[in-house]
Amino acid sequence: MAIDVHRECTDEEACKMVLKQTVDAVVDVPRQLRRNKHPIPVPLYGTDFRCDTSKPYANDYICFPLGDPTEVSWSIREIFGRPIEGACRIGQGSVNLDVPDGWKLQSKSGEDGEILDTYPTLSLANTDSLDIILSSDNATHVSPVSSPPVFAQRSFSGHGQQRGGVRTAFTNPSSEPVTFIYSETLPWFMRFYFHTMKLKNVDGVWRRVICAC
């Protein structure tokens, strides 16, 4: 989650503060659906096994497991435990959905509301509760993933206060220069000393960073 606050001015006298909140979540949908069905993991019955019967050794006692089924259907309520409870009063009352071709998008208003075919933009202005339902016959068909502008990798090195440290590596996958802001969150027990900060560029030479903090 990230919160960005900046000032926008149309002229010298008309200015306002703009707050933008971004929440990114990666959800393993098949795993979450299995957890809803069996909160406590239990062994499956033999009839529930997904076996590849095309294998020559397949029989009632030998099973080559298949992957997750490609025909899926899930909703916001099933994944997060509740629907969307209205819109923010100071924000926009609409939700834009990026759904790839081959997926069916539906919405349901209220507990007993009628399921309707939905366009990629949903309005939450006059809705107290809205559930979004997605289904597909081929779940492997997803939107293309664009290449990130920067790769970041962090690791801890050494041990103790004298030899311990944090190492962060940035990689630009393109040939164009990139400007970015990196925010670091360290454990509460770690003491950070700015005079020990060093930088190594592509030339492989370590340089100390002068911090005007």
pLDDT tens string 41-76: 888 887 888 888 888 888 888 888 888 888 889 998
In a domain, 84, yes or no: yes
The predicted-structure confidence for 203-213, as pLDDT tens digits, reads as follows 778 888 776 55
Length of the chain: 213
In terms of Cβ atoms closer than 10 Å to its own Cβ (0-12, 13-18, 19+), residue 99 is middle
pLDDT at residue 39 in the model: 86
**Among the three residues 136, 170, 189, which one is the final residue of a domain in this structure?**
136
pLDDT at residue 212 in the model: 59
**Is residue 78 predicted with pLDDT exceeding 80?**
yes
- Residues 129 and 161 reside in one and the same domain: no
In a domain, 56, yes or no: no
pLDDT at residue 65 in the model: 86
In a domain, 144, yes or no: no
The predicted-structure confidence for 96-147, as pLDDT tens digits, reads as follows 888 888 888 888 877 666 666 666 777 776 777 888 888 888 888 888 888 8
Domain range for 179: 151-208
151 pLDDT tier (thresholds 50, 70, 90): very high
- Residues 123 and 186 reside in one and the same domain: no
- Residues 123 and 23 reside in one and the same domain: yes
Quote the number of domains for the chain. Answer: 2
Half-sphere exposure of 60 (CA within 13 A, CB side): 0
C-alpha closest to that of 169 among 202, 147, 210, 211? 202
- Residues 159 and 129 reside in one and the same domain: no
- Residues 98 and 200 reside in one and the same domain: no
- Residues 110 and 168 reside in one and the same domain: no
Higher-confidence residue: 109 or 180?
Answer: 180
In a domain, 169, yes or no: yes
pLDDT at residue 160 in the model: 78
- Residue 60, sorted as left (phi over 0), alpha (psi -120 to 50) or beta, turns out to be alpha
pLDDT at residue 118 in the model: 64
Do residues 207 and 199 make contact, with C-beta atoms less than 8 angstroms apart? yes
- Residues 105 and 20 reside in one and the same domain: yes
The predicted-structure confidence for 9-50, as pLDDT tens digits, reads as follows 887 778 888 888 888 888 888 888 888 888 888 888 878 888
